[in-house]
Amino acid sequence: MTKALRTRWLDVAIALTIFALALAVYNATLTPSLSYKSADGNELATVCYTLGLAHSTGYPLYTWLGKLFTFIPVGDVAHRVNLMSAVLGAAAVALLYLIMLTITNRRLPSAFTALFFAFSLTFWSQAVIAEVYTPNVFMLALTVWLLLRWQASHSSLGRSKIALRGLPNPRLGPGSGDPGRAKSAPPSLRRAACLLLAALTFGLSLGAHLSNLGFAPAFALYVLLVDWRVLKRPAVIAGALALFFLGCLQFLWLPYKASTLNDAFMLRNAPRTLESIYRYTLGAFPQFKFAFPLQAIPARIVLYLKLLCQNFGLVGIALGVYGMWEMLFRHTKKFYLFITMYLVHVFFFVQYRVFDLDVFFIPAHFIYVIFIGYGVYRLVEYVRVLSNNRGKLWRGAVNVGLAVLLCLPIAREVRANYERNDYSDETAINDFYQNAFEILPEGSVLLGRGGVFGHDMFYFRLVYDVRPDVLMPHLTNPRPSSKDVKGREIYTTMRLDSPQAGRGPWALPPGLVESDAWHIPVLMGQSDGAIPGGRGRDLVLYQVSAEPPELVVREAEPEYRIGQRLGGLELVGYDLDGEEVDRGGLLHLTFYWRVLRPEQALIATVLGDEPLEAHPVGLGNLSRYVQEFRPPRDAIIVEDYLLVVPSQTPVGWQTLKVGLQEPLRPGQGGQSNGEVLEIEEILVT
């Protein structure tokens, strides 16, 4: 085996090691199934399995790749789509190593760059859920790597031409003018292969995220800087354009699958004609684009810099600026490629109005970390030059020291971001709906959020055909009417009598149930709002009833008497059906409360160290009940409901606790006020 071949295999081995390391960490923190960590993830997991049509901009490539991953016999379908994010995220990191190696020809800074990006906060967060961002970075990295390989083939061609003329090549040293070396020059088609493949990959990447189209000027500029004579080769230009448009043909999937849409908002621009295809893709979400006036741009740039600092720190930002400066003079063509990509992407998204803006900057972070890596590479080279005259032992010690030094920020990243990106215990949705479908009466109706956000419910029907007897009218008809539910018992996962129920494009139509109907909680799952820092999404199954619940009684005989005060409430006692429960199973709880003074806090239940749920006293019905029935002030409030025990709860005896929690505030989860009562020991099996 020649030295060049050994070097190539070593680089491949390092890239595979980086891939395996990143994948191992991603898999350890992977979301096991459905999750609310992504607004679109539950829909994407479902659409991949059914080969349907996702929300704008359609994401056909993502859908097809996700379908392939659904055949992997690991976990459920949602877990497999989550796994795609991890695998392609790790593959993108390995490609980043190869990209840096192509630029620097140094393994240590290249490996540092790849791992530094792999465990950055935002990229890692998207590698463990069903989302489009890590597959998109994989496609982007593959496109960039192919372009760099194309430039490398041109550099080889230039050296071969020098050899053919019998002239010495200063980069190859004496003897480089040997005419025999010219025989190894690749044919023109082979030289153009990487360029043609890059064009195809770029076209395909639009099916992972259409914003990649903004990188086209940077790619075109780079091609002209490397070889402007390509303009004289119409066959190459035509071939590249043909392959790019071949990749774009994937968007024919949109009209083909338009009939599968069940989202009222997306149906407004159902992609059946050329005009509607444009509105579904390039013209989608016009209210988000360029949404800020000129005077707001400085503040938006500051916001972006905060997000950049959140991922790489101030030292990382400084290294990136230094790397830009060094690359400008040492790899000018590559600098213009990356800086143009970077500026176009940042310019577009600083003016984009979305709640999850941080994830849209992931491609910009990918480009910026290349500048960081190049800055590290140049500093490492300066240190090595200084150590060259100090002997072999000294140089070895310097190399070991540099390796350890570069491992420190990576280890710090893993330590800082592991807990924040560890979603391996995210089972609340599955736990809730598995129990909800079990307790629903035969032939009943189940309502909830529609469209994109309804797939936490739709997933179980569309993927596993759970409880086909239960009617979900908004699954097939985004605007169901009261006639669709007439004569059936109605259950819902959202209060249809709240002001928020009728708001937004994904809301159910008004008048679906009687306006004076009661919403009685019968099942409560682990609430995100019960966890400090949660977003406040509650998992509650309500029975819609014309009759009020038995909410207030004059006297009560609870099975277990407590008689202890908790803030402005007195816990008179409670009933508990059984002291043993399976993980993922149900506890039947009945609390008896007496109001001593008005109390704004929420009642929260905790099992062991796991927050379960938080609700207002009276399960949200007390105000209306008092207004209509005027019970005596010293009456007892009865809360009777089923409580889901999370499937990640440790086996063994766990203490069931009840306490008070401050109400949710915008952008924050509920915060405990410190008052907690231990009421029962539960054996979790």
* Owning domain of residue 342: 3-417
Q: Does residue 531 lie in a domain region?
A: no
Lowest mean pLDDT among 28-37, 57-66, 174-183, 487-496: 174-183
597: left (phi over 0), alpha (psi -120 to 50) or beta: beta
Question: Taking the CB of residue 116, how many other CB atoms lie within 10 A of it?
Answer: 24
Q: Tell me the C-alpha distance between 186 and 351, whole Å.
A: 45
Same domain (yes/no): 54, 198: yes
Same domain (yes/no): 206, 72: yes
Lowest mean pLDDT among 9-13, 378-382, 391-395: 391-395
Amino acid (one-letter) located at 505:
P
Element at 581 (helix H, strand E):
strand 580-581
Q: Does residue 179 lie in a domain region?
A: yes
Same domain (yes/no): 576, 511: no
Q: What confidence tier does 155 reach under pLDDT thresholds 50, 70, 90?
A: low
Name the phi and psi angles at 14, rounded to 5.
-65, -45
**Burial label, 355 (beta-carbon count in 10 A; 0-12, 13-18, 19+):** exposed
Same domain (yes/no): 560, 685: yes
Same domain (yes/no): 335, 357: yes
Q: Tell me the C-alpha distance between 675 and 685, whole Å.
A: 28
Same domain (yes/no): 123, 149: yes
Q: Write out pLDDT tens, residues 221-277.
A: 999 999 999 899 899 999 999 999 999 999 999 999 999 998 888 888 999 999 999
pLDDT of residue 451: 87
Same domain (yes/no): 355, 450: no
pLDDT of residue 267: 87
* Coil vs helix vs strand at 572: strand
Q: Tell me the C-alpha distance between 35 and 526, whole Å.
A: 12
Angle at 260 between CA 259 and CA 264, to 5 degrees: 90
Same domain (yes/no): 506, 601: no
Q: In whole angstroms, what separates CA 382 from the centre of its chain?
A: 39
Same domain (yes/no): 556, 502: no
Q: What confidence tier does 167 reach under pLDDT thresholds 50, 70, 90?
A: very low
Q: Does residue 67 lie in a domain region?
A: yes
Q: Tell me the C-alpha distance between 582 and 644, whole Å.
A: 10
Same domain (yes/no): 475, 567: no
Q: What confidence tier does 25 reach under pLDDT thresholds 50, 70, 90?
A: very high
**In sequence order, which residues have a C-beta less than 8 Å from that of residue 164 and are 6 or more positions away?**
179, 182, 185
pLDDT of residue 534: 47
Q: Tell me the C-alpha distance between 584 and 607, whole Å.
A: 13
2, 100 contact by CB (below 8 A): no
Q: Both tokens of residue 141?
A: 């990295």
Instruction: Find tokens 């990295």 and name the residue.
Output: 141
* Residue 408 Cα distances to 112, 288, 404, angstroms: 10, 39, 7
Q: Tell me the C-alpha distance between 462 and 475, whole Å.
A: 9
DSSP result, 661-684: EPPPBTTB---EEEEEEEEEEEEE
Same domain (yes/no): 412, 435: no
pLDDT of residue 300: 95
Classify the C-alpha dihedral 32-34-39-43 as positive or negative: positive
Q: Does residue 524 lie in a domain region?
A: no
Q: Does residue 540 lie in a domain region?
A: no
Q: Tell me the C-alpha distance between 399 and 390, whole Å.
A: 13
What CATH number is attached to the domain comprising 660?
2.60.40.10
* Residue 429 Cα distances to 79, 317, 354, 609, angstroms: 13, 38, 25, 19
Average pLDDT of the segment spanning 36-61 = 95
Q: Does residue 209 lie in a domain region?
A: yes
According to DSSP, residue 567 is labeled: T
pLDDT of residue 464: 96
As a three-state string, the secondary structure of 429-447 is: HHHHHHHHHHHCCCCCEEE
* Coil vs helix vs strand at 657: strand
270, 276 contact by CB (below 8 A): yes
DSSP result, 472-539: -HHHH-SS--GGGTTTS-EEESS-TTSGGGG-STTSPPTTSS-TT-EEEEEEE---GGGSTT------
Same domain (yes/no): 348, 413: yes
Q: Are strands 602-607 and 610-615 parallel, antiparallel or unpaired?
A: antiparallel
Angle at 30 between CA 26 and CA 31, to 5 degrees: 160
Final residue of a domain: which of 388, 417, 446?
417
Instruction: Find tokens 């989860």 and name the residue.
Output: 669
Final residue of a domain: which of 369, 384, 417?
417
Final residue of a domain: which of 417, 448, 483?
417
Bridge partners, 574 (sequence order): 560, 591
Classify the C-alpha dihedral 618-619-622-628 as positive or negative: negative
Q: Does residue 534 lie in a domain region?
A: no
Q: Tell me the C-alpha distance between 507 and 516, whole Å.
A: 19
Q: Write out pLDDT tens, residues 12-22.
A: 999 999 999 99
pLDDT of residue 647: 93
* Coil vs helix vs strand at 229: helix
* Residue 453 Cα distances to 126, 264, 271, 423, 542, angstroms: 18, 12, 20, 20, 18
Q: Write out pLDDT tens, residues 347-359.
A: 999 999 988 899 9
Q: Does residue 219 lie in a domain region?
A: yes
Angle at 583 between CA 577 and CA 585, to 5 degrees: 45
Q: Both tokens of residue 289?
A: 């684009």
Q: Tell me the C-alpha distance between 402 and 423, whole Å.
A: 33
Q: What confidence tier does 157 reach under pLDDT thresholds 50, 70, 90?
A: low
572, 592 contact by CB (below 8 A): yes
Q: Are strands 652-661 and 602-607 parallel, antiparallel or unpaired?
A: antiparallel
> Does the reported pTM lie above 0.75?
yes
Report how many domains make up the chain: 3
Q: In whole angstroms, what separates CA 34 from the centre of its chain?
A: 12
Lowest mean pLDDT among 182-186, 422-426, 601-605: 182-186
pLDDT of residue 1: 66
Higher pLDDT pick, 663 / 411: 411
pLDDT of residue 4: 78
Q: Tell me the C-alpha distance between 544 and 537, whole Å.
A: 20
